[in-house]
């Protein structure tokens, strides 16, 4: 099974600054999908950004962007101009196209604290 | 568009008791997932349905957990009997389909189960 590793249990950033959350994964597949999900305290998980492995261009969604390094199996999330509302748990997830289930395989998460 | 609904939001039971969780996916979504999220970890897939058929239940502890999705809409997840290690948040998610471009999963608010 593919493993997803988030090596930063906690991160802190000041409002308006930039922060990068790390994610590495282990796979032997060449085609797959990668996601970053945000889970605010006591609120439901929402999709932040996704990347298809066959696309070389890094995905961007407003203040959120990724640095996808396929050879290194690395998928980091950059949050620019951090806002107080960005404080949450962030989960990196892998989705295989070859499994019949297509379920998400999550990392353990990084808790992001945003300070004024 | 209404999101994924789950009930109850919180449940406290004693070990060896039974409990059931309910999920109503987004209208028209064929695929439904149940994840278990233990404190400090990322969600782990328990079972996935495509309409009313099971696609993947390889990580479901079948000696105590059961799930069904009658008529391919609502789903219930049952634990009987519960153990202390079942304390977790149970997340339900749905997606329009499990393949192709329609692979975004939408999550419900979860049910927090405490087993004492």
What secondary structure does DSSP assign to A25-72, as a single string?
EE-S-SS-EEEEEEE-TTS--EEEEEEETT--SPPEETTEEEEEETTT
Q: Per-residue confidence at B112, pLDDT binned at 50, 70, 90?
A: very high
Work out the minimum CA distance from B42 to partner chain A, whole angstroms.
4
- Confidence tier at B104 by pLDDT (50, 70, 90): confident
Q: Phi/psi at B30 (nearest 5 deg)?
A: -80, -30
- Give yes or no for residue A110 having a pLDDT over 80: yes
Q: Kindly report, residue by residue over A51-100, the tens digit of the pLDDT.
A: 999 888 999 999 999 999 999 999 999 999 999 999 999 999 998 876 55
d(CA A71, CA A74): 8
CA distance A11 to chain B (A): 15
Chain A residues lying within 8 Å of B108, measured CB to CB: 44
**Nearest residue on chain B to A9, alpha-carbon basis:** B40
**pLDDT value at B76 more than 90:** yes
* Residue A91: closest C-alpha in chain B: B42
Q: What pLDDT score does A103 carry? A: 80
Q: Which of B42, B55, B56 sits opposite A91 (nearest CB)?
A: B42
For residue A101, what pLDDT is reported? 60
């Amino acid at each position: 099974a593919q493993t997803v590793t988030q090596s930063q249990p906690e991160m802190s950033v000041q409002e308006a600054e930039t922060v990068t959350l790390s994610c590495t994964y282990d796979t032997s597949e060449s085609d797959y999908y990668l996601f970053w999900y945000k889970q605010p305290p006591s609120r439901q998980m929402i999709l932040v950004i996704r990347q298809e492995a066959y696309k070389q261009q890094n995905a961007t969604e407003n203040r959120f962007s990724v640095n996808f390094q396929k050879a290194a199996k690395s998928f980091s999330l950059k949050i620019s101009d951090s806002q107080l509302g960005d404080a949450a748990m962030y989960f990196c997830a892998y989705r295989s196209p070859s499994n019949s289930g297509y379920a998400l395989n999550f990392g353990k998460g990084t808790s992001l604290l945003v300070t004024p | 568009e209404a999101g994924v609904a789950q009930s109850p939001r919180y449940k406290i039971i004693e070990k060896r008791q039974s409990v059931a969780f309910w999920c109503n996916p987004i209208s028209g979504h064929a695929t439904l997932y149940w994840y278990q999220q233990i404190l400090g970890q990322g969600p782990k897939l328990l079972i996935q349905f495509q309409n009313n058929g099971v696609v993947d239940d390889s990580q479901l502890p079948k000696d105590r957990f059961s799930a069904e999705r009658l008529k391919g809409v609502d789903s219930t997840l049952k634990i009987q009997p519960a153990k202390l290690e079942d304390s977790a948040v149970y997340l339900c998610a749905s997606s329009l389909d499990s393949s192709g471009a329609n692979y975004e999963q939408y999550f419900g608010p979860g049910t927090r189960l405490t087993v004492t």
